[in-house]
Amino acid sequence: MTASASGSTMRKRALCLWVFGLLCASPLALGEPLAAPAANSPVLRIQGSNTVGAKLAPMLLAGFFEAQGLNSVRVSPAGKENEQRISAVDSSGRTYHALVAAHGTGTGFAGLKDGSSDLAAASRPIKDSEHASLASLGDLRSADAEQVIAIDGLAIIVSPDNPVSSLSVEQVASLFTGEIRNWKALGGKDVPVELHARDDQSGTYDTFKELVLGVQGKTLAADAARYESNDQLSQIVSSRSGAIGFVGLASVGKARALAIADGDSQPMLPSKALVATEDYPLSRRLFFYANPAQQSQWTRTFLSFVHSAAGQAIVAKSGYIGQAIDAISLSPSPDMPQPYQTLATQAQRLTVNFRFDEGSARLDNKAQRDVERLIDYLQTTNKTMSAAVLVGFGDARGDPARTALLSKLRAMAVRRKLARGGVLVKEINGLGDYLPVASNTPSGRIKNRRVEVWVY
């Protein structure tokens, strides 16, 4: 292929992606008008996670209505605590509205099962028991059903006057089980520890159990105060010197987040870059789950909007981490393998990681969407030709030689996907179980099995 032919092909692809983006962001402008709602019926019903539903879902729905050309968009209470109504009016005066009920992730899957919800908002992946219970709807783990909409960091928060700055996951678990009862034991003040936790319906609590308590084989102390709302928990913790709690990243408020270490990782604050790459030990994905076999036109168009640049900008505005890709610089350190030191010195890392199933080089649902995001980023920055480097990593569970091979195979899998989009990768590396970002536990190994992207 000649240089001019190659350039023409790339320009055509860029034009196609631009048109696709417009279709996602503004379906009424270029596509069929969405069906008018039946009298007093919501066009969309979302139930589930308070983390998603308290702020993010209403903001996304409001932005979606505006993208449809609707006017007088308004978010208001729906008559019950943690429930909201998002309404708008079209040019003929017809009212449209959507409902969000944020009572915990588990209630979202119950809503899908009984048909009272179009989307389940979740702050954790679907459980095996829920997946089995909803099997009649189809595969809730398929790409059509499972939609990663944002990345969140589970922040461990204390009062601003608490001098402790970092904890290990093990120490956090010991605090929340009541084994450590005074901050003096951790180098803090001689002040009793007060525990504040989300309630049992919360996906935030489920994530905390999995990432903190579960890996240590421990349970939450019975005297912990429990809350349905992230914001209420944060407000109380910020005002009490001995308090500690956990909330979604968007709800830190006036409290102070601690740096967290897991296994051999360095202590990390829930910064935007570390949460975006999911390197931060307590990072997590936020989801919408949809019925894979039966989705209304409104549901499909809304999900397209959520994944668009406009939707992800709203995610960032809400306080969570959107899935837009940025380049960041890292400082080299002596403990890095030599190829990685070279990258840290000469290149920039992109805020996207590709993750895989255990013992597999198959990209997960988020990674499949991220391939298109990465192609778009590389085209926009003129880095499609030998500018990107892929670095694969594995976990320390198996044979080191096999782990090293798998880490390279995972990088090769991403390279194949990029090649289909016209991207020529400069080089690939497989670094095995070097540079873990999490402990060698089931949840930690998922994070350690990754492919990083660097650009010169």
DSSP 102-116: -S-HHHHHHHHHHTS
Q: Minimal CA–CA distance to 386: which of 328, 454, 452?
A: 454
pLDDT tens digits for range 214-265:
888 899 999 999 999 999 999 999 999 999 999 988 899 999 999 999 988 8
- 56 near 84, Cβ under 8 Å? no
Q: Which amino acid is at 12?
A: K
Q: Minimal CA–CA distance to 352: which of 381, 320, 375, 384?
A: 375
DSSP assignments along 217-250, one per residue: T----TT-EEES-HHHHHHHHHT-TTEEEEEEGG
End-to-end CA distance of the chain: 25
Which residues of the chain carry a pLDDT beneath 70? Answer: 1-32, 357-359
pLDDT tens digits for range 393-451:
988 877 889 999 999 999 999 999 999 999 999 999 999 998 888 777 777 788 888 99
What dihedral do alpha carbons 335, 341, 347, 351 form, nearest 10°?
Answer: -30
Beta strands in 33-135 (DSSP E): 44-48, 71-77, 83-89, 95-101, 119-122
Contact residues for 47 (Cβ-Cβ < 8 A; gap 6+): 53, 100, 101, 102, 103, 107, 108, 110, 111, 116, 117, 119, 120, 121
Residue 290 CA to residue 299 CA, distance in Å, equals 8
Q: Minimal CA–CA distance to 325: which of 454, 443, 212, 445?
A: 454
Contact residues for 455 (Cβ-Cβ < 8 A; gap 6+): 327, 347, 348, 350, 378, 381, 383, 387, 388, 389
The neighbour count for residue 77, using CB atoms within 10 Å, is 10
* Complete domains list, the chain, with CATH: 24-148+287-317 (3.40.190.10), 152-273 (3.40.190.10), 325-455 (3.30.1330.60)
Q: Which long-range contacts (CB under 8 A, 24 or more apart) does 359-364 make?
A: 359/398, 359/406, 361/406, 361/409, 361/410, 361/412, 361/413, 362/413, 363/413, 363/414, 363/417
Contact residues for 307 (Cβ-Cβ < 8 A; gap 6+): 24, 147, 149, 369
Which tokens sit at 403? 């782990």
Tell me the pairing of strands 388-393 and 427-430: parallel
State the chain's maximal CA–CA distance in angstroms.
73
pLDDT tens digits for range 263-284:
888 899 998 899 999 999 999 8
Which tokens sit at 102? 């944020």
Q: Minimal CA–CA distance to 276: which of 289, 266, 286?
A: 286
Sign of CA dihedral 35, 41, 47, 50: positive
Alpha helix (H) ranges present in 115-168?
Answer: 128-133
Q: Minimal CA–CA distance to 238: which of 255, 257, 258, 226?
A: 255
| pTM of the complete model | 0.80
